[in-house]
Amino acid sequence: MPENLLLSGVHKIASRMTDSFASVQEDVEGSHFTNDGDLKMHQIAMDIYNEFESILHAYGEKPLTTLVPLVANLLEMLNGFGLQKDKMAKELDMLKDHHTVLLSKYETAKVDAKAMEEHLFTLEDELHEKKKNIETLKQANASSQRLLELKLKNLIDQICRLEERESDLRSAYANLRQRYGDLFRAHVEYLEKAHVSADVSRELAEPTLGGTAPKTGAALSTELSAFAVNTGISGPVISVSHKGDSPYDWGARKKIMQSICETTPELTLDLDGSPFSKFGDDKFDEVSVSEKSEGAEGDGVYSYTSSNMAL
């Protein structure tokens, strides 16, 4: 009876190990892991069961009283370790898959990082080159600005000098124009006075139609004084208006004016032979001559006038 109980216990252990082996085998067949370890465990359990049966038939149940539970616990522990091993193998395989994926991602990220680093270096080089170009342009602009400022300053100074020169030339031109007008008026008046004096002298020197004798100096002076009061003649000089009537022949005066224009072609006369309206025209532009030549010409006119007046 005890022998049967011992064998039944060993048989239960073997059957339990067989069931566990079946479940493990199903798990292993449903996965990608190998089941070599589980087959070995089942084979060891069956060999131990056969050895226990041989010992039981040969020596009875006494040697197996304490050995069977120890062996059963050992087999259960060994089976648990096998299951743990399979689980760890599964986890290891999953970790390997994750490692492979992560490694591929790492390689991709590494390549991308290298490309980004190269791109960053390229951008830094371009930025450095742009900075150099900007500095060069700034220096060129500063030089150009200084040059333009210097040119502007020189132009302003030149404009100021030209304005001063223009003012001086305008003043000199006004003075020369005034002087030339005065000289011309003096010359015309002198010619008119000389012509009137010559006419009066000729009239006094010619005998009268009635055969009377020439007038004496006192009578001539009295007659000239009365004639001066009536006509504007002061001694041998006559006062002539701008465009009025004169006591002498206007045709003779016009001939004198034409003679003056022939000798001085830069002058032009009015329709009535008067040159003064020309000097009142704002648009009148005289021939440009140097101040020295003008002074020399003025001196010549003065000397000519003085010599004639002395005569």
Q: Which two tokens stand for residue 130?
A: 């742009």
| CA 228/CA 54 separation, integer angstroms | 193
In the numeric block, the tokens 């990082």 are attached to 113
Closest to 250 measured CA to CA, from 277, 269, 227, 226: 269
| CA 203/CA 158 separation, integer angstroms | 65
Measured in residues, the chain has a length of 311
Each residue's pLDDT tens digit in the chain (311 positions)? 444 444 455 555 545 544 543 443 444 344 333 455 567 777 888 888 888 888 888 887 777 778 888 888 888 888 888 888 889 999 999 999 999 999 999 999 999 999 999 999 999 999 999 999 999 999 999 999 999 999 999 999 999 999 999 999 999 999 999 999 999 999 998 988 888 888 888 877 765 444 444 444 445 445 545 544 454 444 444 344 444 444 444 565 566 666 666 665 544 444 444 444 444 444 444 434 344 444 444 444 444 444 444 43
Annotated domain spans of the chain: 2-113, 174-207+214-310
Please, what is the Cα angle at 94 between 88 and 100, to 5 degrees? 135
| CA 62/CA 55 separation, integer angstroms | 10
| CA 174/CA 108 separation, integer angstroms | 94
List Cβ neighbours of 194 (8 Å cut-off, separation of 6 or more): 308
Do 282 and 276 contact (CB within 8 A), yes or no?
Answer: no
Task: Please give the pLDDT value at position 263.
Answer: 60
pTM: 0.34
